[in-house]
A = this chain, B = another copy of it.
Amino acid sequence: MGGERLSRAAAHRLSLYLRALAVWLPDAGKVSSGRIAEACGVTDAQVRRDLAALGNLGQRGIGYDARELTAAIRAALGIDRTWRSVLVGVGNLARALLRYQGFRAQGFEIVGLFDNDPGKVGQVVEGLTVEAVDRLGERVLELGAELAVLTVPAETAQPVADVLAAAGVRGVLNFAPVLLRLPPRVKLVTVDLAIQLEQLAFLIQLGEPEPRAEDGG
């Protein structure tokens, strides 16, 4: 890291650059900021600024080494390691997430599944046995899980989040349509799928071309 603190908007753009690099990586040696900019729908100047913040990476007139750049971005985002994670609420969304290759590829490993439905406890889903949610607190500790993915209904999200916070998880990715309260040491990212659709409606109503870097910046 080049000393400068990354903004969250910049972190979002870095995630997008990583997606573009992943597509090219098999045969890319050097890549230019312009090529990244074009693929991600941001300006060349923005890409240069964002990548300059990661340190002295590119060479003028030659570009960036794709593999080195990928490693630098992963380090800046904190995904140059594995994050052991539990998933709570084994419904359709959970099954979709478990099959989603992107999580494991980016270093997120689901190590435990939990549900409050006795009919689901004991079932094997994508190689993991569903456990009773009553045991969540102790199991988070035993499994050494640092993150939790919440795919429970809105009404059970807060009590489950409280158990997770007490058990010491460092972050929660919440899909339940509810505003969770967590102590400041536990980071929260809420994925509200209806908000995404609302943003789409808003863009259509706005009626003008939008850069693809969806960071609101």
Contact = CB atoms under 8 A, between A and B. Distances in A.
Interface string A54-95: 000000000000000000000011110001000000011101
Contacts of A172: 200
A78 B119 CA distance: 42
Contacts of A124: none
> Could you say which of A191, A194, A204 has the most chain B C-beta atoms within 10 Å of its C-beta?
A194
A200 B209 contact: no
A169 to B, nearest CB: 10
Given A19-B177, A103-B194, A195-B15, A8 B96 contact: no
Contact-size category for A: 35 or more
Contacts of A40: 179
Contact of A199 (B11, B102, B103, B179): B11
A119 B6 CA distance: 48
Contacts of A216: 7-9, 11-12, 215-217
B187 A212 contact: no
A91 B102 contact: no
Given A19-B192, A193-B97, A197-B106, A187 B210 contact: yes
B184 A209 contact: yes
Nearest to A73: B198
